[in-house]
Amino acid sequence: MILPIYTFGADVLRQATPELEDNSEALQTLIDDMFETMHNASGVGLAAPQVGRSERVFVVDLKKSLDDEEGVEPATLPGPLVFINPTIQALNGDEVEYEEGCLSIPEVRENVVRPDTVEIEYLDRTLSPARLQATGLLARVIQHELDHLNGILFIDRLSTLKRQLLRRRLREMSRGDVTAAYPILTAPEAARRR
């Protein structure tokens, strides 16, 4: 099922998520729904808080989301990945600046500096322990989505000046003045749901 994506200003986006301890049918359904929601919105990653849930899980799929990009060889991209209770073990490589966006902050894109390599431990979809060393775009997406699980948004990683330049737009968005090409739930709508 396609879920609405919560937009900037929704409280759930600023809350750290607790670790998951049990596999359940509800968790598996959430994971399926997150993939469907992410693909529908043409995203490459999606964290549970973005769909209003406080579970410590995010999904990534560079293969399906980027296989139409010019010059990208689909066979080289990682397919659907599920990260449950992820923890970064190491950040390495050069600090690289790259333009990021976020499904919860539609139409805002800014350059963010992040390490080019990440080592992460997590539980996979079956709650089996896993470890991954990722570089390039996959490393960036992992770091971005893990930030969501800690209540951090990519705009928090911008300079003070850039955040000030975005302040008016973000204030409008938090009041509900936002649209997207996919189903969303604005901050005022999310507050009424509580």
- The per-residue pLDDT for range 99-117, each reduced to its tens digit, is 999 999 999 999 999 999 9
Residue 145: predicted pLDDT: 98
- Told to judge if 145 belongs to the known catalytic residues of this protein, a careful annotator would answer yes
Cα atoms found within 13 Å of the Cα of residue 100, Cβ hemisphere only: 27
Mean pLDDT, rounded, for 189-194: 88
pTM: 0.92
**Number of Cβ within a 10 Å radius of residue 153:** 19
- Specify the CATH number for 5-193; select among 1.20.1050.10, 3.90.45.10, 3.40.50.1860, 3.30.930.10: 3.90.45.10
**DSSP code of residue 155:** G
What are the domain boundaries of the chain? Answer: 5-193
The active-site residue out of 55, 145, 172, 189 is 145
Confidence category of residue 66, pLDDT binned at 50, 70, 90: low
Mean pLDDT, rounded, for 16-33: 96
Is residue 180's pLDDT more than 80? yes
